[in-house]
Structure 1
Amino acid sequence: MAADRVAGDASMQTVVVRRTGRTGRRTRRVPWGRVTCALLALFALSTVFATATPAQAAGSASPSTQAAYLATRLRTNPVYVTDQLPREIPRSQAPAFATLAKRTGVPTYVLVLPEQDLGGKGLLGAVHDRLGRDGLYVLLDTSGVTDAVAYGVRAPADDAATASLYELPYDAGPLRSFERFVDVVAQGSGKAAERAAAAREKYGESDAEPDRMYIDRTDRDNQSFLTGALLTGVPLLILLSISYVRRWRHILLKVTGRAKPDSRRTPEWLASVLALVTLAVIVVTTALTFDQTTSSAAVPPTAADVSSRVDRVSAGLEQDPVYVDPEGPQVLDSRQLSHLHERIRKFARSDGGGPVYVLLVPQLSGDESGGDPEAFADAVHAELSKAGKAGNGRKDDGLYVVADTLRGDIDVLNFGLRLDSGRLYAGLPESIVFGDDEAREAEDHLLGERLDDFMTFLDKSPRTTEPNTTSDQDTKAEPIEGNALPQLFSGDFWPGLLVGGLGALLVLGLVAGVLAIVGSVLRRRHPLPTASESSHLQAPRGPSLSYLRTTADDELGALSEDFVEADVENAGLAHRARAWDCFDAAMLLIDGDRCRLTEPDDAGDPDEAENAAGGGVDPATLVTIIVLARAGRAALRGEAYEMCCGLNPLHGPAVVRHPVRVSAEDRRRRRLPVCDACRDSAIREPGAVHTLLMALPAPPDPDGGSRDRVPYDVLESPLSAVSDGIPRLIDAVRELAGAE
């Protein structure tokens, strides 16, 4: 400004000289005194311009004000995107902004800049004054549209800005925010006012906000963990709990008197199928629900986007060792710049001194260096070293001072000067590095005074014998990874699998505890009979031979009658085939002669025949005939009879396999098919369930001694296959008949 004032005074003086010259020719008098004054003024003016030249060069922009610099850029292109935010708003997105700007229907000038003080209020007006063109001026930063003003055109700028502010979440990104702004502008003033009022009413006076559009990596980790926990927890819980709950449900229904003895049981394999289906549903549902792939609206920057600011700054340092960022407000006036240049030249000429490069540039988290001033200075130094651009005869060697115009911090990196880098890094006073309270409150952070104090500190710093360089171990910028989210089935997905399994076991334990309490209460109200009192044990545990003969003859005769009288349509061919197989197997055991069923083993008393040796049908064969006959009759009635009770085949069909103890001495359990009553007894009195195992007379003793009863399943007979089901029992009988 001082240079402008001096230039104006010089112009006026020049006019005076010309007028004086014309007057002199008319009077033939030469005003030597005025001419001398004019020459002295011109000399002073040239001196002032020589001093002010570095100030104009700073920032590589002419004129050097922020508004004038931006107006110059808009004169070339109506859309200007900063090069300081490649991680969030790459410059390569400028064509997308330009395409949207054409949809407003009026000349539109777009500025995409880092966040400005006070939201950039007043900046658009200053840019318009210097550009001198009417149109719609829009200012955006990383959050979206921050200001919009219409100059000389009809456009609902305020309403469109309000709608884009309230209708979109904060993470929508500048491009989507500008798109919403353009859409509202294109609707006209009336519609725009309605949308702005509705958005302000919905979100402006409350804490409500639109839902976020993107999730971060922490959210993705949580999603992966939840998916893993569900994938193991839910199917495993189904497999473990269904059989447990079904067993207890049967007990509860039985004690309350609502059990249906003839109702068909759900197949055990259904739990496995349900678990697999649930697993597939969880995979598909989570994949469709957690389908986010990016964590922000930012697009990956190009190589030119990443290097643009570094190239700009290094090019500016070719002309001047002090680079002032032209996109932001100027924090140093011409006097401070001139004084700083003088201090830099003085230090360069001092013993052990060298070039000093001052970079007055904001450091932002979205820039190519991730907001790290040391990484930024290292990148500029590398660019100068690669291109050999730095002046002052030292190539890229020098002291790089990064003054953050946004926060006011000052960082220093030494490359090749004979200065103690450790002292420069850790010995700088905090009043220089961070500033005092007054500096933090000032708009310019008092950077002019603090840089002057730094140069004083630099002049007093001791010199070293060898050039010293700041270690570049911690001065490399982190690579730009982009905003792609990890895959859903990765990361915390694997710990989630383990936690899901543990959670399933915990839930099963809680369910078991609740059911145990409920069952205990119901058993107190409806006590079940003991094993010795159970009414279901109508079939004796140790049946006599006469009982078995009579029952076998009755059951086989009934099967013959039922088979003849059965309705083919009601029974079905498959059921008749099963009934015939059962009848055929039973007849094989007695060689087709039912009379053998009533022949005693000995001519004596039938009850004594159990202890006498002789011929006839043995007890195990008689039990087999009874089971086959009953299974055949059930098939003709269309009833399920695939297995019979493994504790006592005379109890009838089994409903489930259950681990039971079959011996008082052996505590090991066998998984046998059991009927309803035996299962209840096994649950209620597991230690006494072996007393329900059917015992038959043992084979005759060759020495003529007495015979004890033995468990039926230890006898060599087809009856030992009864636990594997009726079809296996039929096969065992046929194998025996074929062997004989």
Structure 2
Amino acid sequence: MRAVTTNDACAAGIWARRAGRTRVLRLLFAICSLAALFATATPADAADSPTQAAYLADRLRENPVYVTDQLPREVPRSTAPDFARLAKKTGVPTYVLVLPMQSGTDGEQLLGAVHDRLGREGLYVLIEGTDVAAATAYGVRAPADAAVTVTLYELASDAGPLLSFEHFVDVIAQGGEQATARAEAARETYRDDEPAEMYIGPSDRRNQSFLTGSLLTGVPLLIVLTAGFVRRSRRRAGAERRVPRWVVPGAAVLTAAAIALTAPVVFDQTKSSAAQPPTPADLSARVERVAAGLKQDPVYADPESPRVLGSRQLDRLHERIRDFRRSDGGGPVYVSLVPQTPESESAGDAGLFTAAVHAKVGKDGVYVVADPDDGTIDVYNHGLRLDSNRLSFDLPDSVTLGDGRADEADDHLLGERLDALMTFLDKTPRTDRPQSESAPAAAPRAADENTLPPLFATDFRPGLFVGAFAALLLAGVVAGLTWGAGGLLRWRSPAPELAHGLPLTAPTEPSASYLRRTAYAELSTLARGFTSEEERGRAWDHLDAAMLLVDGDLDRARDADTDPATLVAVIVLARAGRAALAGDTTDLCCGVNPLHGPGVSRHHVRVSAEGAARRLLPVCEFCRNTAIATPRDIPGNLLKLPDPSSGSTRLPYYDVTDGPLAAVPHGIARLIDKVRETAGVH
């Protein structure tokens, strides 16, 4: 009995140990199952983020410079050789990634992940859009941080990716010490300021066109108006016209030509940005890539962007797409998880992008564009029997734009919202006939998008009108101010007057038109001055002699045939008559310039600038003071009239004629007698 009991106990122990091992194995199996379950349920960012780095590492393995196909309007893929040429100047292995700007992406972390998967030492550079966003050196000596800092501070914001990378490379080539010092200097210099932009926009070009048009009409017209104003002022002052008539119009024409030729040199900008013109292959590369992916899988996730759909979400979306395709009135659904940027081939127009993808895929269906960067969802029906109006206008904003939760989530809850979209498609009414979206408007031509309009266009024509108006306005203001200042000066220092308020003017070289106007005005004023028979005294003799000079016809004073000497004699007699009416019986008239008026004494004065020739002449107070203080100035004050024999030179009035005017130095009475003798009147 004891032996049996012992055997039974041993057997029981063996079975107990086997049962314990079985429980342990079952527990380990359960733990492994849970681990696998948690692995499949890992969030999208943790599970799929290496995919982006792996894809980019594969591209750099093929070529050390990778330029995205999503920015053809800003950085065409055809510029890759230019980046490669610049990268060789760093002196170390350099790997360059040119990608779209992505929100929520750490550039240095991305470069680190790419380096880990590529497994090559060197300088890794990330260019996002148009800027050098990050750079890290792995296993090589290169002042990456300093170069990024210098590029950020020293270059204008619109310098463009190629120039930014070239600047970056130049700093790298300087070495660590110089690059660090330059970074500190740049940080200090541009701490509160930024470099001026290198390019202008269309509005700036319109301003340039407007300014050019304004100057082109305003300045020449102002020259003409100002010259005319000056000419009239000189004519009123009695100065003879010495400048030929063609000078002013010629100067205006030359000024206009100079402005027209200079403006394109000063405003020589032709582009509004540093973008290089893309090739047709650049503009079609992304569409072809997405279309090729959709032919293999109805859901295409952009490999250059962070993944926003986890494995379970992706499987769920595939299942819903298959169910919709099999449903009554359903069909294919193509989902593109691709960013839509203004620099893309479609200029950020999702409808234009889907139309191009639809044409490349060659199959009808519902085309969905889900932007992994901003989280928007756009839906377009191409050829299915679905109510397109419902798709266009009744889709909830929570699906197309997202809500507050979607804005805060890194993946914008695109998996959840795409699932809601599929539910909406299931419930969308079917139609009798297939419907399709209308053809979208074409995107702007990339070649013209960054080209400025011509200088002589846009606001150039309005500038012409404004320039002309401004010239007229400015000329009017100048004329008004001049007239006002002249009136104020005349009020403060009135010009000498003989009688009845007619001012006395005395140019040295009067023009013929001035003499005609003045002779007519003086003679008319004298004739109107006689109001009674008692005034027919000495003043009447002056009027009578002056009328004899014009053959008794007042209008002959304005006749162009009347010679200047006769007109001067008429002016002298008329002014002397006006003085006599006022009670001044002075017989002397200034012999230096009879237009000066009455003389106060006789004086030997110099009558020639050469030599010391002198002559005894009656002089006015002004000429007497000049003869005493600066006698050499008297020849310049002599009244000079055109030489009848030549007409181009001027001589002192007493040498020009042997007529009545030559008697002026002997007094007014002798002048009157000389006039009567010449006319045969006694």
TM-score (norm 1): 0.64
* 2:127 is the counterpart of 1:140: yes
* 2:553 is the counterpart of 1:709: yes
Task: Report what 1:150 is aligned to.
Answer: 137
Task: Report what 2:202 is aligned to.
Answer: 217
* 2:383 is the counterpart of 1:399: no
Q: CA RMSD in A?
A: 3.8
Q: Structure 1 residue 274: deviation in Å? A: 3.4
Superimposed CA distance per residue, residues 41-98 of structure 1 (whole angstroms, 9 cap, x where no aligned partner): 9xx9xx99xxx9xxx9xxxxx9971100000000000000000000000000000000
Distance (Å, rounded) in 1 between the aligned partners of 2:253 and 2:307 = 67
* 2:484 is the counterpart of 1:517: yes
Letter in 2 for 1:709: D
Q: Structure 1 residue 294: deviation in Å? A: 0.9
| Residue 647 (structure 1) aligned to one of 496, 506, 516 | 516
Alpha-carbon distance change, 538 to 477 in structure 1, aligned in 2, over 3 angstroms:
closer
Task: Report what 1:408 is aligned to.
Answer: 375
Task: Report what 1:562 is aligned to.
Answer: none
Q: Give secondary structure in 2 for the equivalent of 1:456.
A: helix
Following superposition of structure 1 onto structure 2, how do residues 380-395 of structure 1 map, counting pairs within 5 Å?
A: 380-385=357-362
> Is the CA contact 1:344–1:355 (under 8 Å) kept in the aligned structure 2?
yes
Q: Give secondary structure in 1 for the equivalent of 2:219.
A: helix
Q: Give secondary structure in 2 for the equivalent of 1:496.
A: helix
Moved more, 462-471 or 126-135: 462-471
* 2:255 is the counterpart of 1:278: yes
Letter in 1 for 2:228: S
Q: Structure 1 residue 190: deviation in Å? A: 1.2
Distance (Å, rounded) in 2 between the aligned partners of 1:115 and 1:91 = 16
Task: Report what 1:257 is aligned to.
Answer: none
TM-score (norm 2): 0.69
Task: Report what 1:160 is aligned to.
Answer: 147
Alpha-carbon distance change, 663 to 312 in structure 1, aligned in 2, over 3 angstroms:
farther
Task: Report what 2:469 is aligned to.
Answer: 502
Letter in 1 for 2:483: A
Distance (Å, rounded) in 1 between the aligned partners of 2:361 and 2:298 = 12
Distance (Å, rounded) in 2 between the aligned partners of 1:645 and 1:518 = 23
* 2:241 is the counterpart of 1:241: no
Letter in 1 for 2:455: L
Q: Structure 1 residue 283: deviation in Å? A: 2.7
Distance (Å, rounded) in 2 between the aligned partners of 1:514 and 1:641 = 26
> Is the CA contact 1:224–1:491 (under 8 Å) kept in the aligned structure 2?
yes
Task: Report what 1:479 is aligned to.
Answer: 445
Q: Structure 1 residue 120: deviation in Å? A: 2.4
> Is the CA contact 2:235–2:511 (under 8 Å) kept in the aligned structure 1?
no
| Residue 322 (structure 1) aligned to one of 280, 299, 305 | 299
Task: Report what 2:593 is aligned to.
Answer: none
Following superposition of structure 1 onto structure 2, how do residues 16-415 of structure 1 map, counting pairs within 5 Å?
A: 65-117=51-103, 118=105, 120-203=107-190, 205-206=191-192, 208-245=193-230, 269-385=246-362, 396-415=363-382
Alpha-carbon distance change, 482 to 648 in structure 1, aligned in 2, over 3 angstroms:
closer
Q: Structure 1 residue 280: deviation in Å? A: 3.3
Q: Structure 1 residue 726: deviation in Å? A: 6.5
Superimposed CA distance per residue, residues 472-507 of structure 1 (whole angstroms, 9 cap, x where no aligned partner): 2x3543332242212212221111111100011111
Moved more, 218-227 or 273-282: 273-282
> Is the CA contact 1:713–1:719 (under 8 Å) kept in the aligned structure 2?
no
Task: Report what 2:672 is aligned to.
Answer: none
* 2:410 is the counterpart of 1:443: yes
> Is the CA contact 2:519–2:557 (under 8 Å) kept in the aligned structure 1?
no
Structure 2 unaligned spans of 5+: 1-21, 526-542, 568-640, 648-682
Alpha-carbon distance change, 524 to 78 in structure 1, aligned in 2, over 3 angstroms:
same
Task: Report what 2:429 is aligned to.
Answer: 462
Alpha-carbon distance change, 413 to 244 in structure 1, aligned in 2, over 3 angstroms:
same
Alpha-carbon distance change, 538 to 156 in structure 1, aligned in 2, over 3 angstroms:
closer
Q: Give secondary structure in 1 for the equivalent of 2:330.
A: coil
| Residue 392 (structure 2) aligned to one of 418, 422, 425 | 425
Superimposed CA distance per residue, residues 341-381 of structure 1 (whole angstroms, 9 cap, x where no aligned partner): 00000000000000000010000000000001111001101
Distance (Å, rounded) in 1 between the aligned partners of 2:145 and 2:155 = 16
Distance (Å, rounded) in 1 between the aligned partners of 2:522 and 2:453 = 53
Alpha-carbon distance change, 249 to 161 in structure 1, aligned in 2, over 3 angstroms:
farther
Letter in 2 for 1:478: P
Alpha-carbon distance change, 662 to 512 in structure 1, aligned in 2, over 3 angstroms:
farther
Letter in 1 for 2:326: R
Q: Structure 1 residue 194: deviation in Å? A: 1.3
Letter in 1 for 2:114: V
Q: Give secondary structure in 2 for the equivalent of 1:711.
A: helix
Task: Report what 2:9 is aligned to.
Answer: none
Letter in 2 for 1:275: A
Superimposed CA distance per residue, residues 581-603 of structure 1 (whole angstroms, 9 cap, x where no aligned partner): xxxxxxxxxxxxxxxxxxxxxxx
Superimposed CA distance per residue, residues 104-136 of structure 1 (whole angstroms, 9 cap, x where no aligned partner): 000000000000234523110010011010100
Q: Give secondary structure in 1 for the equivalent of 2:389.
A: helix
Q: Give secondary structure in 1 for the equivalent of 2:516.
A: coil
Q: Structure 1 residue 292: deviation in Å? A: 0.8
Q: Structure 1 residue 469: deviation in Å? A: 1.1
> Is the CA contact 2:495–2:504 (under 8 Å) kept in the aligned structure 1?
no
Superimposed CA distance per residue, residues 662-703 of structure 1 (whole angstroms, 9 cap, x where no aligned partner): 999xxxxxxxxxxxxxxxxxxxxxxxxxx9xx755787xxxx
Alpha-carbon distance change, 245 to 263 in structure 1, aligned in 2, over 3 angstroms:
closer
Structure 1 unaligned spans of 5+: 1-32, 57-61, 255-260, 386-395, 540-638, 652-659, 665-690, 700-707, 732-740
Q: Give secondary structure in 2 for the equivalent of 1:121.
A: helix
> Is the CA contact 2:142–2:175 (under 8 Å) kept in the aligned structure 1?
yes
Task: Report what 1:676 is aligned to.
Answer: none
Moved more, 242-251 or 310-319: 242-251
Q: Structure 1 residue 528: deviation in Å? A: 2.6
Task: Report what 2:578 is aligned to.
Answer: none
> Is the CA contact 2:516–2:557 (under 8 Å) kept in the aligned structure 1?
no
Q: Structure 1 residue 471: deviation in Å? A: 1.7
Task: Report what 1:28 is aligned to.
Answer: none
> Is the CA contact 1:236–1:504 (under 8 Å) kept in the aligned structure 2?
yes
